[in-house]
Structure 1
Amino acid sequence: MTSGFHGHLKAGFIPVRSWLFLSGEPKITMTRTLAFPVAVMVSLLGSIVVEPSYAAGMNTQTYSPDYDKCMDKSGGVTAEMLDCASAELSLQDKKLNAAYQALMRKSTDEEKTALRDSQRGWLAYRTASCKLTMIFGGGGTMDLIAASSCNLDETARRVFFLESLLAE
C-alpha cells in the first residue's frame, strides 16, 4: 500500500498541507481535496448522460498508426516529438474539417446553427485549455509537448464526437 504524498497523488487526490502544532513541533498533515475527482466524475457522467453513443467509445484513441511509430522513433527528443504531434494534428484537423462539412451538408438550418455555435465554442475551449496546460507547466520544453499533446488530444476527441454524430 502506498502512503504519504505519493499515495494521495496515485489515488487521484490533490494534497493540501495544513500545519498543526502539537507539543510545540510543526507537523504536516494531508487532507484530501475532492475537487479533482468530483470534476472528473461530473465530466464523465455528463458525457454518459448527454451523449451515450459518444461516451460508449470515448476512450478510443483515433490516432493514426504512423503517429505511434513516429513517437517511438523520436527517442524522447523534444523537437522530433513536436514534429510527430504536428503531423498528426494536421491529419486530425483534416478529419475534423471533413466531419464538420459532412454534418453541415446533412443538417437542417437549426442544426447548422447549433453545430456552428458548438464548433466555435469548442475552438475557444481548446485554445484556452491548452494555453492553461502550458502556463501551469512550470516552464521548459515539456510545456511545449504538453500544449501540443493537449491540442492533439482535444482535436482527436472532437473528431470522434463529430463522427459519432454523423453515424446517428
Structure 2
Amino acid sequence: MIDENLCRAELSPIDRAKSTARRKAVYELLNPEAKAGTAGAIGSNAAQGIVAGATVPAIVQVWAVESGQRGRTTIQLIVNRTPVVAEISLYPGGDAYLRAGGLYCGLGQVAKGAYQVTIAITTPAIALVSDGKTPDLTPFGGTIGNTVGPALRRAH
C-alpha cells in the first residue's frame, strides 16, 4: 500500500514525505542492519596525557566495521586530521591487543575477524618516537584501549 501511494502522481509533497517516512520505518523494521548507525561502530573518549612534562588534553575517536575479508584487518591512524604512516598492528581474537607508536595496549575480549578500523586522535601536542615521524601514543594508551576495544566488540 505504501509503495502504491508513492507511485501516484497526485500526492502532495506532505503526503509523499509521510509515505516515504513510513516506508523507511517499515523497511528498517524488516531489515535492522540497514538502519543508519548500525553498520559500524563508533567510539569516542576524552583523555589527558603527559607530553614533555605537560598535561595535554586529547580526543580519541574510533570507527570500526567488520570487513568480511578473511584475515585482512586494516587500520588507519589519523593524528590532528592528518593520516599518519606508522606501523600499526591489531590482533583480534580472544584477548586482543594493539601495537602502534611505542604503545602495546590490551583491548579485552574481541571476536576473531577482519576489521576496518580508523583511529583519530586530536591533541594540541604529541611527541614523536625516534624516527621523527611516528607519533608516541603511550600517553593516551589507556584511552585508546578503552575506545578501540568496545568499538570492535560492537562492530562484530
Which structure has the higher relative contact order (CA within 8 Å, separation 6+)? 2
TM-score, with structure 1 as normaliser: 0.23
TM-score, with structure 2 as normaliser: 0.24
Q: Which has the higher strand share?
A: 2
